[in-house]
Amino acid sequence: MKTLWLVSVLSLLAVTAPAREKESVALTIYNQNFGVVRQTRQVEIPDKDSIIRFTDVAAQIDGTSVHFQSLTDPATKVLEQNFEYDLVSADKLLQKYIDQPLTVLTRDGSRYSGTLLSFDGGQLVLRRDGERPDVVMIARDENVKDIQFGALPQGLITKPTLVWKVATAKPGRHWIEVAYQTGGLNWHADYNTVLNASDTALDLSGWVTIYNQSGATYEEARLKLIAGDVRRVQPPAVPGMRARALAAAEAMPAFEERPFFEYHLYTLQRPTTVANNQTKQIELLKATGVAVKKIFLYCGVPHHRFYGGVNTDPGFGSEESNKKVNVLIEFKNSAENQMGMPLPKGRVRVFKRDEADGTLEFVGEDQIDHTPKNETVRLQIGDAFDVVGERKRTNFRVDTGGKTMTESFEIRVRNHKNEPVEVLVKEPLYRSSNWEIIARSHDWKKFDAHTIHFPVRVDKDGEQVITYTVRYSW
């Protein structure tokens, strides 16, 4: 089913394209497993009403999205269109040759000529004509050396093909532009970062990885990538992934980024070939000296939150606490911080150099969503080894008549590192929408409607003990 945005885009691309006396292909890939292909070719339209065949189209083409435009004579029209994809295979040839003559040669040198009656994966059944007609069964598998056919039967083709019935007032050679949507094209971004020795800055390189299982190769294509969540009506099912080889990485970052509608468009500044069943990588961006902040975040009950209503269950939140302290890396995606390019969603890997031998070691990774410029990127890359936390509830009381309840906690954060650390203690307030902190040992900050933070400094080989009491009302 065609969506309005696709019809509009394809029509605009076709109508506004200048006439080019050169065959070309342009490819726009969306990170939702589809793309738009635009091809300019020269074709022969011999008569005012002709059948022409347009080959080398994607096997996963959406036939309803095809837009045809003659650049030689814009008044030329397509009256009918068929998509033919009955490609030649051994079994399809045999199926076409039922009740037809053929010759089978076996590996022992035997030769069988006759009419094909039937076949399956294991054998061929032939009727040999002559003075004494007989039926012979020939084992297939490794036994058959060669099968000799006559002409290619009608209806079998060697390439996916669009067949058009075309009406034109100017028969002859036409330059045409064809645009269509196809599945089997996808891309995503990957980012590799290297932290400095003090964890205060990093170097970043971003790569786009392009997957092509569309059933076509796009030679020397003008390539564009769209980043954003485009709404589609009844998108095709994602095809099964097949084994594919990693293409050689391109040498130079050469994408130009610009806004496009409510998305971002990344245009490669040179043509590239995107082969069928290929994975290709091209560098997207590079930045050095990006200032970062390392954050230790502790939440004793990371899976608890406010679900609405009032929760008076005394057991909720009293179970054994989480002891892991998360390690986060945070940086601003701004020009002042050596960045400032809208970042497509993707995986961010973090490395750090081992000063003992100079080798890069992997320290963690996270996934980011589409991130505009001037926004903060926060990566959770692992859990601290030498910083641990502990949380326990010390008091709980419900006053049903007064419609209040109070709950008290003690949080301990211990630092076994050889240097002090700053830890952000996160506490969810999950029992009611109305709450107030009526006692606390440390200053706190409200993060959102149901979360508070206690920023604390923990000395080398030291411990911080945070206590607080919250009162809920309803």
pLDDT value of position 16: 42
pLDDT value of position 82: 87
pLDDT at 2 over 70: no
pLDDT value of position 159: 74
pLDDT (average), residues 206-219: 94
Paired tokens of 442? 């440390």
pLDDT value of position 93: 77
Instruction: Look at 107-121, 347-361, 365-379 and tell me which has the smallest mean pLDDT.
Output: 107-121
- Of 177, 173, 168, the residue nearest 17 (C-alpha): 177
pLDDT value of position 250: 39
Q: Are the C-beta atoms of 83 and 76 separated by less than 8 Å?
A: no
H-helix or E-strand containing 26? strand 24-30
3-state secondary structure string across 355-401: CCCCCEEEEEEEEECCECCCCEEEEEEEEEEEEEEEEEEEEEEEECC
Does 228 or 166 have the greater pLDDT score? Answer: 166
The percentage of residues in the chain with a pLDDT greater than 90, rounded to a whole number, is 65
pLDDT value of position 148: 85
Question: What is the pLDDT confidence band of residue 240, given thresholds at 50, 70 and 90?
Answer: very low
pLDDT, tens only, 323-354 = 999 999 999 999 999 999 999 999 999 999 99
pLDDT value of position 327: 97
Q: Are the C-beta atoms of 456 and 425 separated by less than 8 Å?
A: yes
Q: Where are the domains of the chain?
A: 90-148, 292-332+375-473
CA distance readout (Å), 188 to 211, 232, 361: 9, 18, 24
pLDDT value of position 1: 41
The rounded mean pLDDT for the chain is 87
Give the phi and the psi of residue 112 in degrees, each rounded to 5: -125, 125
CA distance readout (Å), 368 to 18, 195, 286, 348: 39, 18, 17, 7
pLDDT value of position 274: 95
Cβ-based neighbour number of residue 111 at 10 Å = 10
pLDDT at 5 over 50: no
Instruction: Look at 9-23, 42-56, 100-114 and tell me which has the smallest mean pLDDT.
Output: 9-23
Q: Are the C-beta atoms of 205 and 8 separated by less than 8 Å?
A: no
- Of 376, 23, 390, the residue nearest 174 (C-alpha): 23
pLDDT, tens only, 20-61 = 468 999 999 998 999 999 999 999 999 999 999 898 899 899
pLDDT value of position 87: 58
pLDDT at 254 over 60: yes
- Interacting residues of 409 by C-beta distance below 8 A, sequence separation 6+: 391, 392, 393, 394, 427, 467, 468, 469
pLDDT value of position 449: 93
pLDDT (average), residues 64-89: 86
The top-level CATH class assigned to 292-332+375-473 is mainly beta
pLDDT, tens only, 122-139 = 899 999 877 666 898 999
pLDDT (average), residues 398-408: 94
Q: What is the pTM of this model?
A: 0.72
pLDDT (average), residues 345-373: 95
pLDDT (average), residues 209-229: 93
CATH number, domain 90-148, options 1.10.275.10, 2.30.30.100, 3.40.50.1370, 2.40.50.320: 2.30.30.100
pLDDT value of position 11: 46
Does 264 or 28 have the greater pLDDT score? Answer: 28
pLDDT, tens only, 125-182 = 999 877 666 898 999 888 888 888 876 666 566 678 899 999 999 999 999 999 999 9
Does 81 or 90 have the greater pLDDT score? Answer: 81
pLDDT, tens only, 269-298 = 999 999 999 999 999 999 999 999 999 999
- Of 92, 52, 112, 59, the residue nearest 76 (C-alpha): 52
pLDDT at 74 over 60: yes
Instruction: Look at 230-234, 255-259, 372-376, 378-382 and tell me which has the smallest mean pLDDT.
Output: 230-234
pLDDT value of position 246: 33
